[in-house]
Structure 1
Amino acid sequence: MTGPTTSRGEAERLRRGFGRLAALGAVLVLAGLVGLVHTGLAGATSMLLFGWLLLIGGLVGLLHAVQSRDSAFFWLGVVVAALNLAAGIVVVREPHATAAALTMFAALLFLTAGLFRVVGAVVVRGPQFGWTLLVGAFDLMLGVLVLASWPGGPRAIGCFFSLALLFDGLGLFATGFGGRRVVGLVADRTA
C-alpha cells in the first residue's frame, strides 16, 4: 500500500536527483569559465586528455582481448586496441601536430550535437525547449566557427570546448533547477 509517506519519499528522491543535476551543471559552468580564462591550457589539456584516454582505452582493450583469446573476435579486439594505442601515442607525443585533427573533430562534434539538440528541441517541445534550442544553436554556431578557423591551434580548441562546457553546464543547471521546482509544485498539490 502506498501512502503519503511513500510519495513524499519519492518526491524528495527526485528533488535530490534534480539537485545533483543542477550541481553538475554548476561545476561545468565553473570549468567552462576557468577554461575561457586559460584557453591555451584548456586546449593543451583537452588534447592530452584525449591522447591519454586513447592510451588507456587501448590498454584496457588489449587486456580484454587477451582474456577472451578463445573467442572469434580476438584478432578484432587486438587490432582495435593497437589502433587506439598508436593514436594515443601520436596525440600525446605530438600535441601541436594533432591540433588540426582535433579542431576538425571538435567541429564535427559541435555540428552533430547542435543538430541533434535543435531537432530534439523542435520535435519534443519539452519544458526546457528554449534552453535546449539555445544550446543546440550555440553548438551549431561553434561548429561553423571551428570550421572557419580550421586548422586551429590549442587556444582555439580550448576556447571552443570551454564555451561548450559553459553552455552545457547552463543547460544542465536549468534542467535541474526547473525539475526541482516542478517536483516541489507536484508534491505540494498532492500533500
Structure 2
Amino acid sequence: MTMQPPTGFGAKLRGLPPTEQLRANWAWFLGLGIVAVVAGLVALAITEFATLVSVVTIGVLVAVVGLVEIVLGFRARGWGQALYWEISGLFYVAAGIFAWAEPVQASVVLTLLLGAGLLATGIVRAVAGFRHHDKMRGPLILSGVVTGLLGLLIVSGWPANGLFVIGLLLGIELVFTGINWIFFALRLRSHA
C-alpha cells in the first residue's frame, strides 16, 4: 500500500517557504483583524457586560488551575512542597468561585488591583528612566509617566469605575490588535 501525498489547501502551501505561506494566507489575517476590531467595538459598546464576562472567565480559569494544583499536591505527597500546593490551590479555587459567584464585586476588586499595579509599574519605570543615562531614558520615563497616570486615573475613580474599566481596556486592546492584524494582512498582500 503506497501513501498518497496529501491534497487540498494545506498541501498546496507545504512546499512554499514560510514567508510565502504567510503571503498566501493574507486574507485570513485580514479576517482575523476585522473580527478583532468588531469584537473590540462590541466590548466598547457594552463595557459593563464585557467586564462581567471577563471576570467570570478569569474566575473559571483560576478555579480550574486551583483544582489542578490541589490534585497535584495530593499526588505528590512524598514531596516537601505538596501541602503548599494544596493550600495555594484552595486559595485559587476560593478566588475563582468568588469571581464566578460575585462578578460585580470581583470586578471592583480586580479594577483596584489593576490600577494599583499600573501605578506601581509606572513609578518603577519612571525611576528606572531617571537612573538611565542613554537613549532609553526618555522613552522609559514617558512610558512610566503614562502607565502611572493611567493607574492613578483608575485608582482615583475607584470603586465607581469598577464595572467598566476592565471591559473598556479589553475593547481598546481588541481594536488595536485588530488594526495591527489588518495592516499586517494588507502589507502581506502588497508584497504578494
- TM-score norm. by structure 2 comes to 0.63
Q: Which amino acid aligns with 2:102?
A: E
Q: Which amino acid aligns with 2:105?
A: A
| 2:109–2:162 CA contact under 8 A, matched in 1 | no
The 3 A distance-change label for structure 1 pair 86 and 169 is: same
Aligned residues: 162
1:109 positional shift: 6.2
State the distance in 2 between where 1:23 and 1:140 align.
35
Over 6 Å off, 4+ runs: 136-141
The reply to whether residue 42 of structure 1 matches residue 50 of structure 2 is: yes
Per the alignment, residue 56 of structure 1 pairs with 64
Equivalent of 1:165, from 163, 174, 190?
Answer: 174
Q: Which amino acid aligns with 1:170?
A: I
1:172 positional shift: 4.2
Equivalent of 1:72, from 55, 80, 94?
Answer: 80
Give CA deviations for 1:101-153 in whole Å, capped at 9, x if unaligned: 1112333566659x99xx9xx86xxxxxxxxxxxx998776545423322223
State the distance in 1 between where 2:167 and 2:61 align.
17
Q: Which amino acid aligns with 1:86?
A: A
Answer with 1 or 2: which has the greater Rg: 2
Highest relative contact order (Cα 8 Å, sep 6+), 1 or 2?
Answer: 1
Equivalent of 1:91, from 91, 99, 106?
Answer: 99
Per the alignment, residue 105 of structure 1 pairs with 113
State the distance in 2 between where 1:8 and 1:86 align.
50
Q: Partner of 1:97: helix, strand, or coil?
A: helix
Q: Which amino acid aligns with 1:64?
A: L
Q: Percent identity between the aligned chains?
A: 27
Per the alignment, residue 154 of structure 2 pairs with 146
- TM-score norm. by structure 1 comes to 0.64
State the distance in 1 between where 2:41 and 2:48 align.
13
Q: Which amino acid aligns with 1:90?
A: F
Q: Which amino acid aligns with 1:163?
A: I
Gaps of 5+ in 2: 1-13, 130-134, 137-143
State the distance in 2 between where 1:141 and 1:103 align.
15
The 3 A distance-change label for structure 1 pair 25 and 77 is: farther
Gaps of 5+ in 1: 1-5, 124-135, 186-191
| 2:26–2:189 CA contact under 8 A, matched in 1 | no
State the distance in 1 between where 2:89 and 2:64 align.
10
The 3 A distance-change label for structure 1 pair 28 and 73 is: farther
Give CA deviations for 1:61-115 in whole Å, capped at 9, x if unaligned: 22222333322321221122111011112222222222321112333566659x9
